[in-house]
Amino acid sequence: MRDRRKAVLFDRDGVLNEDAGYVHRMEEVRWIPGARELVGRLTKEGWLLFVVTNQSGVARGYYTEEDVKRLHEAMNREFARYGGRITEFFYCPHLKGAAVPAYDVDCPCRKPKPGMILTALETYHVEKTAALLIGDSPRDVEAAARAGIRGFLFPGGNLEAFWETIPQEREVNE
C-alpha cells in the first residue's frame, strides 16, 4: 500500500527557469519569478518535488549528461538558500533521429510520453491522486494525463502566484 505523500512534478525550462534554449550551465539560468520561493515553501510543507525535463541538447551533442547533472546539483544548491530541495531530477536525453547515435532512441520517457512521471511516482510510492504536474507546454500536460495525474499549464509570470490558482487537496500528508 502506498502512503499518502503528495508530490509536485515541474517541467524545468519555462517553469522553474526561463527557457533560453538548451540551458546547461548555472550561469545561463534566469529564474522564473517565485520559483525558488515556491520550491522552498513546498519543501517546508512536506511535498516531494520532482523535475521531469526533456533534454534533447544531449542527443544533439550540445552538452553531456554530466553537464545536466551538474546543473541540477547547482540548482538544488540555489533552492536550498530558500529552504527548498528538488527530491529528484528526472531527465530524458533521447531524441529520435538524434545527431549522437547513442541517444537516437524513441524513448518512453520523452514527454509527452509519461515514463519520467511514472518512474517518479513508482520510485517514491506516490499515489496518482496525490500528484500534480506544472508545465509550460501542451506536451507536459499531455504527459501528465497519460500518467493519470493532474496537469496544469503555466502561462508564465510568477510561479508562486500561479500555485495559488491550482485547486488542491492541501491535507494529503496529514
For the residues of 118-165, what is the DSSP string, one character each? HHHHHHTT--GGGEEEEESSHHHHHHHHHHTSEEEE--SS-HHHHHTT
pLDDT at residue 51, as a whole number: 98
Residue 13: active-site member? yes
Instruction: Provide CATH code, domain 7-163.
Output: 3.40.50.1000
pTM of the model: 0.94
- Which of 3, 13, 19, 136 is catalytic? The answer is 13
- Which of 11, 67, 106, 136 is catalytic? The answer is 11
Q: Report the chain (174 residues): mean pLDDT per 10 consecutive residues.
A: 79 97 97 98 98 98 98 98 98 97 97 98 97 98 98 98 84 40
Burial 124-144 (b: 16+ CB within 10 A, else e): bebbbebbbbbbbbeebbbbb
Strand ranges of the sheet holding 131-135, from the earlier edge strand across to the other edge? 88-92, 48-54, 7-10, 131-135, 150-153
The distance between the two most distant Cα atoms of the chain, rounded to a whole number of Å, is 48
pLDDT at residue 53, as a whole number: 98
pLDDT tens digits for 1-42? Answer: 445 789 999 999 999 999 999 999 999 999 999 999 999 999
